[in-house]
Each structure stands twice: as structure tokens, then as C-alpha cells.
Amino acid sequence: MELKNNVYKIDGLNVLDLCNEFGTPLYVYEGKTIERQYNKLAEAFKDVNVKIKYACKALTNISIMKYLHNLGSGLDTVSIQEARLGILAGFKPDEILYTPNCVSFEEIQMAVDLGLSINLDNISILEQFGHTYGNTVPCCIRLNPHIMAGGNQNISVGHIDSKFGISIYQIPLVKRVVDACNINVTGLHMHTGSDILDADVFLRGAELLYNAAANFPNLRFMDFGSGFKVAYREGDVTADIAGIGKKISKSFKAFCRDYGRNLELWFEPGKFIVSESGYLFVKTNVIKQTTSTVFAGVDSGQNHLIRPMFYDAYHHIVNVSHPKGTKRIYSVVGYICETDTLGYDRQMSEVKEGDILAIHNAGAYGFSMSSNYNSRYRPAEVLILNGKAHLIRKRESFEDLTRNQILIEI
């Protein structure tokens, strides 16, 4: 989003016109930004056989997934429903990695029936998988490297108390299960968390995977997860993708020489690809001044963007209706009957009732974590491609709230 001649635009389109056409609250995604982020990652790892698997839990809209498939991406999914959405969006089953956690074995079997690449993260399921399929269906194994990454336990998933993955210290037991059940292990996987700035976290985990690889002679790929940090504030420090790419590529090529053949290197970025592409546009319903705070109350809340409450996440907010007004301090809050502050003590151009505010970095874990709390409707979604706005999800209606409810006689 750019400010030109006192007007905010996305790919040449006036933001206020978009809000008038599609209403608010409104999610808008810029295709050019998605393409830029995807290409930046692909370029950083061009020296190895890299496969990018978009982590669609960040944003599961099928048009977004189709757009990424057209860019050359594969797909990372964590549920059978995400996988089915991916197939609907145009991904072939063998382009989809299925990495569930704490699901039933019946769901694993559904994934096998669909033809997905299976990634298993606990020994119990690994044993059942081996007893059921032997070496007829290959699988990947997710290992927990016991590395704290991202500085926040809510977004770090590779530490010792995490529910994700099989402990790296259980490799001897994994090896015995694999041998006893004749399991064909073709991949090793790790994911340590989000907001990673440098290559060291990946390299520490990579060394553990490299050592574990000696136990699995049929490997075809290694998946290093993702978690590259993006900017949330002006001047924010971000991951040096080019530098990370050089260090990891050098390390991976050395491993492949020792292993005896070239493997594929997989990454599964979600936030890195779509976060900066997205904006949540909201309308100011009320300006409310108390003894200590001036609130800008908007027509949205934690039901549409829960990250500020769930992760204490920062999202930059600007007044797009009056970009050059006098700067004043507001706490931007929602219309939900809970504490749902979207931004504390934000300095922005003076806000009046009816003004449109833009919440940045809303592309990842925005709509995908939204809800109907307080029986509010979820917003519409729009994708901007080549200067044209495409409606990719209709705004919900009252019929959507009642569709699956059954009113009984009492």
C-alpha cells in the first residue's frame, strides 16, 4: 500500500474505493507482494534443489493457494481439510505435504488414500503406520530438535516442552520401529518456530538432521520448516533471506556429498509469503474518550484478527481517510464484548467517526483464525492482481450463521 498525492493505493487502486465497493471490515491481499516474497525465497536457495511448500494454515483461501501454485509452489497442510482445499485449488496430491499433530490414525489413512506426502510426528502413529502399510507407502518423520526459536513460547514449536515432533533423543527407538515395521522413510523434517532472524537456528537443527540421516538410507528430501521474520513496524529487523540462503545451501550441499547423493531441500513458509500482502480495513464507529484514554472503536475486533490478543502481536495501523491530519494518540478497539484491543496508544492522523483505518500485516493468521464470536459475520476477502480487484470470498450473512443449526420444538 502506497500513499500517493494524499491517497492510499494498492497496485494503483484507491483503498477508499475498495472499501466503498466491498464494504468493511474487509481483507485485501496484494498479489505482487506474494509473488515478490515467493521469488525472494526461491532465489535465496537457487544453488540447491529447493522445493517451497506454502504453509496454507496462514491463509487458506483457495484463490490464494491457486495463485501460489501458478508461481510454482507446493503446499504444506496440517489437516485433511486443508489438503482437500489444496486439491480443489489445483495442487496434485504428491505436491502436498501433510503434517498433522495429534490426529487419529483414521485421518492419516484418509491422507494416504488421497495420495499425499505423509509426515509423522509421534512414535505411536509411526508404529501403526508401519503395521498397516509396511514399505508400500513412504513417509517423512518430524523430529523435535529441542531448540527454542523466535523468543516466544507461543510461536516456538521445537523446544523440549513442545507437543510437536519426535524427540531427537529418541532416534534409536525410531530406528528400531522403522526396521521392525519395514517403513520406507524418504524425508526428515523439523520446524522450530517463527520470527527467526538468522541462519544459526536452521543450521543447529540441520546438524541434528544430518546426523540422524545416517539411520535412513532412502531419503529423498529434508524439510527445514520455516519461520523467517517479516517486518511489523517501520524499521523492523527482518530475516536476511539472501544470507540465510547462502549459509544453509553451503551446509546442505556438504551434507549431500557426505550422504552420497543430492537430496531436495524443502521449506514451508506461510507468514513470510503472505503476511505483508494483507490489510484489514475497518471503519471507525465511535470515538470514545475516558478519563485516561481516547478509543477509536471500529467495526471489527478479535473475531477477525485475534493475533494482538493471542500473541501480543503488533500490527501497524494508519488512518487512510485522512493521511495528513494532526497526529493524536488512540487505542484502537473492536466491537466485541471482550477486551479486543487491536492497538494500544497508537499515534496516527486524527480519527473521526466514519474514517477507514488500515491494519497492516493481516495476510497471515488473520482470516484463517477468524470466528463468528458474538455472532458477527466474517469479512469479505479481495485479491488485487495486475491492478484489478477480485472478490475471492463473499461477506457472510445471517443465513451463514444459521445454516447448520437446528431449531427444535421445546
* Catalytic residue flag (residue 102): no
> C-alpha cell of 205?
537443527
In sequence order, what are the beta bridge partners of 120? 141
Please name the amino acid found at residue 219.
L
Based on the number of CB atoms within 10 Å of its own CB, is 93 exposed (0-12), middle (13-18) or buried (19 or more)?
middle
Residue with C-alpha cell 443465513?
Answer: 399
Instruction: Map out the domains of the chain as residue ranges.
Output: 2-29+275-402, 60-269
Q: What is the pLDDT of residue 164?
A: 86
Distance in angstroms (rounded) separating the CA atoms of residues 329 and 350 = 8
- CA 44, CA 48: separation in Å to the nearest integer? 10
The reported pLDDT for the residue numbered 231 is 83
DSSP assignment of 292-312 equals: S-EEEEES--TTT--HHHHT-
What does the pLDDT profile of the chain (410 residues) look like in tens digits? 999 999 999 999 999 999 999 999 999 999 999 999 999 999 999 999 999 999 999 999 999 999 999 999 999 999 999 999 999 999 999 999 999 999 999 999 999 999 999 999 999 999 999 999 999 999 999 999 887 555 444 444 445 677 889 999 999 999 999 999 999 999 999 987 656 656 677 788 888 899 999 999 999 999 998 888 888 888 777 788 898 899 999 999 999 999 999 999 999 999 999 999 999 999 999 999 999 999 999 999 999 999 999 999 999 999 999 999 999 999 999 999 998 999 999 999 999 999 999 999 999 999 999 999 999 999 999 999 999 999 999 999 999 999 999 999 99
Superfamily of domain 60-269: Alanine racemase (3.20.20.10)
Which CATH architecture best describes the domain 2-29+275-402? Answer: Beta Barrel (2.40)
